[in-house]
Structure 1
């Protein structure tokens, strides 16, 4: 999708900050309808070099024509930034930010669905104390089980960027690799629902938020 998708979007977002009821919009106190500066083509190529894959087209165009981060759904968009450890997405300017994501981690294969099946199976295999002859044997077995669970849990996040904090531990992710590349998924694991697709791409997700926000403030 080309930059036509984003014509006038930056101006529309920044205009919302001037509305006298803008702070009543959910998440607005977290981002203040502020947008970071747009990124240059040179910066995008450097980011993609760390990522190991090209950015999803809609999101790449957004970074180039709207802003690197800031105002957006929920508590706002994380921003790609270059630090000592390379490129990563951080909550620059956000009062409530999601966890940072390194470009290297976001460039790994996205296999959240497959890993969820393994996690579900592992849940059924949690060691029970009554099955062990001693407390020490049980603690050892449970520690090994817990370590494996944490490993799979953390691996579910690979291949995606934690793009926006929803609140209560829920997060919106942008998938960077694989067949779901460019799609918005939600991390709903705090309610034991796993990482699930929204059915929307980045452009639909962002523009729908903008339209809903404008309609609310104009009503």
Structure 2
């Protein structure tokens, strides 16, 4: 049975403006997919198979677009490697900091490349293991730890991409770290979801979410003061800064955060970009000066002083 999302995706592709140049490669025949699966000893996730047979093979998609079948694996990938389990379980915690530099996207068993994101970054689709069907961001050189997208499968992921385009998200730079949902659904995830990965994804989505309500800055402040995970708090800071001057005014709360990196980020984000360069408004300057007088961490003091040095 054809997934109902296939029809929705066709409709949304047709609704895109011509400027998007939404061209995909011709759909694959079942025999072509089966041959790939036979050669590599795997069966591709059903949602991805349906995309390939009903929508297209490569073309329009995030960043530089979807990769066609001939680029899913590289020449160094053994025939058996895709049948081995992908080594990371999704949603256990938020990866933070650089990955083990001995690992690369080439070394990840159980996944195919579906998007080239530039430099040494790729989006992979897990075909074997606990994360089967999920999308995951990796970097060849280990500059960041692999991190899973929140979407449950390929069709949900691709439809979210189309929804972001059609609803006017202000910037798609953060797409890999964001999630689907309207403001109420995102607030519920941010405040109530037990998984920090999803709370952070909700916060990331508010960085670019179109037409935020006037209540959103206050909601983000509440989330900031009740959030236990520092990586989520860091993302909430970025979401607050994206809400304009009122949001930046609320960043002063984070100057007392127990994590030094968050205090530094708050000081930096308190600045405002103007046609004449970056500025620190007088009322924030006064607050920041008070916190600087009591700050003991040298790296935080440096960030605060750099903000205060702006005219």
Cα deviation digits, residues 44-103 of structure 1 (max 9, x gap) = 21121112121101100100110011101221101114xxxxxx538xxxxxxxx67868
Match of 1:36 in 2: 25
Structure 2 CA distance for partners of 1:79 and 1:17, relative to 1, 3 Å: farther
Calculate the TM-score normalised by the size of structure 2: 0.44
Deviations 1:125-149 (A, max 9, x none): xxxxxxxxxxxxxxxxxxxxxxxx4
Instruction: Measure, in 2, the Cα distance between the counterparts of 1:101 and 1:11.
Output: 38
8 Å CA contact 1:38–1:68 kept in 2: the answer is yes
Deviation at 1:206, TM superposition (A): 0.6
Are the equivalent residues in 2 in contact too, given 1:13–1:210 (CA < 8 A)?
A: yes
Residue 161 of structure 2 aligns to a residue whose secondary structure is helix
Conservation of the 8 A alpha-carbon contact between 2:86 and 2:128: no
Cα deviation for residue 162 of structure 1 reads: 1.4
Paired residues, number:
161
Range with greater deviation from structure 2 (34-43 or 56-65): 34-43
- Measure the CA separation in 1 of the matches of 2:51 and 2:78: 18
Residue 205 (1) aligns with residue 157 (2): yes
Partners of 1:176 and 1:72 in 2: how far apart?
20
Q: State whether structure 2 residue 126 is matched by structure 1 residue 175.
A: yes
What is residue 156 of structure 1 aligned with on the other side?
107
**Is the 1:163–1:172 contact (alpha carbons within 8 Å) kept by the matching residues of 2?**
yes
Change (3 A) 1:174 1:105: farther
The alpha-carbon distance between structure 1 residues 8 and 199, as it changes in their structure 2 partners (threshold 3 A), is closer
* Structure 1 residue 183 displacement after superposition: 0.5
**Which residue in 1 is equivalent to 2:243?**
none
Of Structure 1 and Structure 2, the greater strand share is in 1
Q: Structure 1: state its 5+ residue gaps.
A: 23-31, 82-87, 91-98, 124-148
The equivalent residue for 1:110 is 85
Which one has the largest radius of gyration? Answer: 2
Q: TM-score, normalised by structure 1?
A: 0.61
Q: Which has the higher contact order (CA 8 A, sep 6+)?
A: 1
User: In the alignment, is the contact (CA less than 8 A) between 2:114 and 2:122 conserved in 1?
Assistant: yes
Of 50, 53, 57, the residue aligned with 1:61 is: 50
Measured in 2, the distance between the counterparts of 1:5 and 1:103 equals 33
Q: CA deviation at 1:167?
A: 2.7
2:144 maps to which of 193, 203, 209: 193
Secondary structure at the counterpart of residue 33 of structure 2: helix
Aligned to 1:89: 72
Q: Aligned pair in 2 of structure 1 residues 53, 189: CA closer, same or farther (>3 Å)?
A: closer
Across the aligned residues of Structure 1 and Structure 2, the Cα RMSD in angstroms comes to: 3.3
CA distance in 1, matches of 2:154, 2:81: 16
Secondary structure in 2 matching 1:112: coil
**Other structure's SS at 2:34 match:** helix
Partner of 2:7: 7
